[in-house]
Structure 1
Amino acid sequence: MNQKMKVNVTSEFGELEGVIVHTPGLEVEEMTPETAKRALYSDILNLSVASQEYQQLKGVLSKVSRCFEVTDLLAEILKDEPVKRSLINEICLRENAVDIQPDLLGLTSPELARQLIQGVPIKRNNLTRYLSQERFSLWPLHNFLFTRDASMAFRDEVVIGKMANAVRDRESLIMEAIFNHHPLIESKTINAERSEMMKADTKIKIEGGDFQVARQDVLVIGTGVRTSTQGIDFILESIKARQEPIRHIIVQELPDLPESFIHLDMVFTFLDRDACMIYEPLIMGTNRFHTIHIQVENGEVTRISERKNLVEALQLLGMDMKPIRCGGKNDIWTMEREQWHSGANFFAIAPGQVIGYERNVNTVNELHKNGFEVLKAQDLIDGKAIIPPNKKCVVTIAGSELARGGGGARCMTMPFRRKNIDW
C-alpha cells in the first residue's frame, strides 16, 4: 500500500483511486454562536453526531478507493525538518504569530499536525496576552472538513486554492505542502499566490467548490463570492501556457445570495458521462446569470461567447447531459429546501455511481426514477449490500448534522486520482 500515486483527474466521475478527507475534530467544537460567523458558519455543529455521520462517508470511500486523512499526511511531512520549519514560518508570518514559532518547532509531528488544524491556544504569559480577547494564537480550521476547496486536481497538476476568506488560508498552505512533499503522492502544484499575476492583481480568488473537470479538455468553473473572474483568468493563463490544442472553459455566474449558492457544486454536479444533477431555477431558468464559453487553442483565446445555459454549453462540446433535478420536478419550495441542504452536491466514485445525503428524499427519489439504485451507506459498510458493478446507483449517507455545515459529499472530498474515462 506504499506505492507512489501520481495525480490524475480527467473527469468528475472516473473511477476513484485516491481521495483526501478530513474527519471533523475538536476544531468544530471550538466555535461559539459569537464566533460562528467569523468561521463562515451560520450555525454550530454537534461534533458527536457529525462525526458519526462522517464515518458513513469515509466508510464508503474506503471500500472503493485509497482514502487518506489530512492530519495523517500532514504529520508525515512534518517529520522532514526543513519542510516543518518552512511551513511553520509561513503560517506564523501570515497569521501574526511569530512569537509561538519556537514552541511549535518543539512539538512532535503528530501533535504539531493536530494543533495546526485544531488551533494553538494562546499562552497568557505576558500582559498583552493576558488581556487579549482572543482564545487562540492560531485559530482552529473550522472548515477543513470541506477538503474540496483548498486544492483541486486537473490532469497531473494540483491547483492550490486562493481562498476568499483569510481564515481559510492555512488550509491551502497545508495542502500545498502535502502535495509538494508527501512521498506517496507524485504531483506538481500551481499556486496563484506565488505567481506574477497575483503581484499585479490581488483580486484573484479560486476555490475547489467552483472547479469541476468535465473532460480532459473541458473545465466548468463557477464565479461568485468565492471564485473571482480574476481567479478564472489565472486558470486560463495556466492553460494558455501549456500551448496545447483546443481546450475549453465554461464559466457559470452565481448569485451572491442565498449562502447555499456559495459554490457551483451546490447547484450543479456531474453524475456520469451523460447525466448531471442541477438546481433547475438557477441552471436552466431564465435569469441574469451568464454562462460563458472560452475556447483556447495553442496558447491563444480564440473565442469567448455566451451560451443559453450550462447544459447547452456542454452539449455543444459533445457532452449530452441529461439534467436530473434537485428536489424533483414538481414543487419549487421542495427544490429550494433540498438545495439548501446540499441536495445538488453529489460526489461520484465511478461513472453513474454517486454519494449524497439521504435527507434529500425528493432528490434521491428523482435519481431512482432515472435508473439509479438506492443503497444505504451503512449497509455497504456492514457488508449487507454491494455496489453493483457497472450499474447506476446512489449511496445515501446520513446528513442531519453535517448538512448544517453548508456542504455535501463533494465538498467533503478531495479526489486526486481517478481512472481515465473511455469516451
Structure 2
Amino acid sequence: MTKYVELNVRSEIGELEGVILHTPGAEVENMTPENAERALYSDILNLDVARDEYKQLSGVLGKIAQTYQVKDLLANVLKDEKAKEAVIDRVCKMEPHIAIKGNTYCIKDYLLDQAPTELARLLIEGVPLKADNLTKFLSKERYAMRPLHNFFFTRDASMSVLNEVLIGKMANGVRDRESLIMQSIFDYTPGFNTKTVNPIDNPSVDPNCMIEGGDVLIARDDILVIGNGTRTTTQGIDFILAQLLSQKEEKQRHILVQELPSQPESFIHLDMVFTLLDVDKCMVYEPLIMRPNKYQTVHITIQNGKVLDIRRENNLLEALKKLGMDLKPIFCGGNGDPWNQEREQWHSGANFFAVGPGKVIGYGRNIHTMEAMNKNGFEILRAKDIIRHKVELSDYEKYVITIEGSELPRGGGGARCMTMPVRRKPVNW
C-alpha cells in the first residue's frame, strides 16, 4: 500500500519528504524531427540513455524521500469507476476530436473499456491513429490522441504552494492533458489531503492567463518569486495575486516578479536562471539576474486582502535582501567567462533541485558551475556512487549530487524541472 504524505511546501530548500516523478517512457520517443519542435524539444531524445540518466535522479531521491510515479498515482485514481469516467470526460472536453461517434473509431469508448493501468499508460503515451477511413489513412498524424512528450518535467503542470496545489495553465496546448492528469491525481487521492486551484475552473479568468511551475518559486512562506516570460504571463501572475488576496491574511506577503527574455529558448522559465540552494546561497545566471538590463524586477506587497505597494527593484537579490533573505550568488558557468556561462545555462546549469538546505541535485556536465559550487563549500558527489552505496550522504553537510546529462537536457530542463515536491520540512531561518 502506498504511503502518502500530507501536502505542505513552504520553501524551495526545506528537507524533502515527498516528491512526484515521471520516468520517461515511450511518449519521449514517439516523435520525428518534424514534430519535435511542436513537442517543445530542442532535439530528439535517445530513450534508453534518457531513462538511464533519469534512474540516477529517481534512485537518489528514493533514498532521501517518499517518491511517487505519475503513472502509478493515475492508475490508482482510475480504479474508481466514477473517477475514471470523470477523467475521460474532462479529456474529451479538452480534446473534443477524440469523442466523435459515428461509423469511425471512437477513442472515448476505447478509453472507457481499458483497465486502469493500461488507461493510465494511454493517457500519457497516446493512442495510435486507426486508419479506418481515407482521411486518416492519408494523414501525417500518427496519433489520434497525442503523447505527452514533456511529462517527465513534472514541475510545470502543478505547483505545491503551502498546503494547496496550483494547477498549471500551460502555454502550449500540447501539454494541457498534463495539467488535467495532475489535478485528477490530487482531487481523487485523499492521502495528499489538499485542494487544487485551477485557473480554467474560474469562468472569469483572463484568456491570456498562463502559469507554469518552472516560473513559480517559494523563497519563503511569505515570499513567492515568479518569472514573467513566454510561459507565465502577467495575467497568470495576476491570477496568483488574486488567490492570495482572497485569503485576506494579516501577515504581509510578497510577490517578486522577474521579467525574462523571450529568446533564447533556454530562458523559458525562471528556474533556468535562478534557483535556491541554501538559506544563504542561490544559483544565478549572472548576465540576467545581476547585471543591469531591460528586464524588470517588480515587488508586490499585499496584506489583509489589499495590494499595499507595487514598485520596481534594482534586481532580484536586492529585493530579497530587503525582505531578510541575504543570499550569496553562485554563478552558473562560473565567474568571468561569458562563453562558459552561456553554454552551461543552455544545458540547465542553473536548474538545481534542493533536497535540503545546502543539499542539491544538478547536471554533472556543467563543470564550471560545479567548480563554482565546490569553491563555495559544496562537496561534489556522483549519483551513481550514492546508489551503489560507495558514498553516504550523512557524511556530508553540504553537497551537490551530480546526475549525468547527455540526453535529458535536450528536452529543455534540469533536476528542478523533473521534480514536483509535495512535502518539505520547515526551514530554520
TM-score range, shorter chain: over 0.9
Aligned to 1:97: 98
Q: Does 1:300 align with 2:306?
A: yes
TM-fit CA distance, 1:387: 1.1
Match of 1:227 in 2: 232
**Contiguous gaps of at least 5 residues in structure 2:** 100-105
Q: In structure 2, what is the Cα distance between the partners aligned to 1:154 and 1:385?
A: 33
Distance in 2 separating the partners of 1:389 and 1:49: 30
Letter in 2 for 1:418: R
Q: 2:316 aligns to what?
A: 310
**Which of 392, 395, 398 is residue 386 of structure 1 equivalent to?**
392
Equivalent residue in structure 1 for 2:189, among 179, 182, 188: 182
Q: For residue 137 of structure 1, what is the amino acid of its counterpart?
A: A
Query: 2:103: which partner in 1?
Result: none
Task: For 1:391-406, list aligned pairs within 5 A.
Answer: 391-406=397-412
Query: Residues of 2 paired with 1:100 and 1:305: CA distance?
Result: 51
Please, which runs of 5 or more residues in structure 1 have no aligned partner?
A: none
> Aligned partners of 2:279 and 2:395: how far apart in 1?
16
1:151 matched to 2:158? The reply is yes
> Which amino acid letter does the alignment assign opposite residue 28 of structure 2?
V
- The answer (yes or no) to whether the contact 1:252–1:289 under 8 Å persists in 2 is yes
The Cα of 1:389 is off from its aligned counterpart by 5.8
Which of 289, 292, 300 matches 1:286?
292
Alignment of 1:24 with 2:29, yes or no, is: no
Could you tell me whether the CA contact under 8 Å between 1:2 and 1:184 is conserved in 2? no
1:150-180: CA deviation from partner (whole Å, max 9, x where unpaired): 0000110000000000000000000000011
What whole-Å deviation, never above 9, does each CA across 1:371-402 have from its counterpart, x for those lacking one? 00110100000000011367110000000111
Q: What code does the residue aligned with 2:400 have?
A: V
Q: Do the aligned residues in 2 keep the contact of 1:13 with 1:272 (CA within 8 Å)?
A: yes
- Aligned: 1:239 with 2:239: no
The aligned residue for residue 258 of structure 2 is 252
Q: Do structure 1's residue 353 and structure 2's residue 359 form an aligned pair?
A: yes
- Show CA shifts across 1:272-309 (max 9, x none): 11100000000001100000000001000000011110
Indicate whether 1:49 and 2:49 are aligned: yes
Q: Which position in structure 2 is the counterpart of 1:268?
A: 274
| Letter paired with 1:61 | L
User: 5 Å matches for 1:157-176?
Assistant: 157-176=164-183
Whether the 8 Å contact between 2:40 and 2:411 is mirrored in structure 1 is no
SS at match of 1:296: strand
Shift in Å, 1:196: 3.5
What TM-score, normalized by structure 2, do the two folds share? 0.97
**What aligned pairs does 1:60-71 form with structure 2 within 5 A after superposition?**
60-71=60-71
Match of 1:204 in 2: 209
Moved more, 91-100 or 304-313: 91-100
Partner Cα separation in structure 2 for residue 17 and residue 352 of structure 1: 16
Q: Secondary structure of the equivalent of 2:33?
A: coil
Could you tell me how far apart the structure 2 residues matched to 1:406 and 1:228 are? 20
Aligned-partner Cα distance in 2 for 1:137–1:420: 45
Q: TM-score, normalized by length of structure 1? A: 0.98
Which residue pairs with 1:134 in the alignment?
A: 141
**Structure 1 pair 236/396, CA: closer, same or farther in 2 (3 Å)?**
same
Following the alignment from structure 1 to structure 2, what is the Cα–Cα distance between the partners of residues 38 and 404?
Answer: 14
Task: Report the CA distance between 1:405 and its aligned residue.
Answer: 1.4
Provide the aligned length of Structure 1 versus Structure 2.
421
Stretch of structure 1 that moved more, 303-312 or 383-392:
383-392
- In structure 2, C-alpha distance between the alignment counterparts of 1:420 and 1:389, rounded to whole Å: 22
Q: Is the 8 A contact 1:220 1:249 kept in 2?
A: yes
Q: Distance in 1 between matches of 2:255 and 2:349?
A: 25
SS of the aligned residue for 2:394 comes to coil
Which residue identity is paired with 1:92?
C
Identical-pair percentage: 59
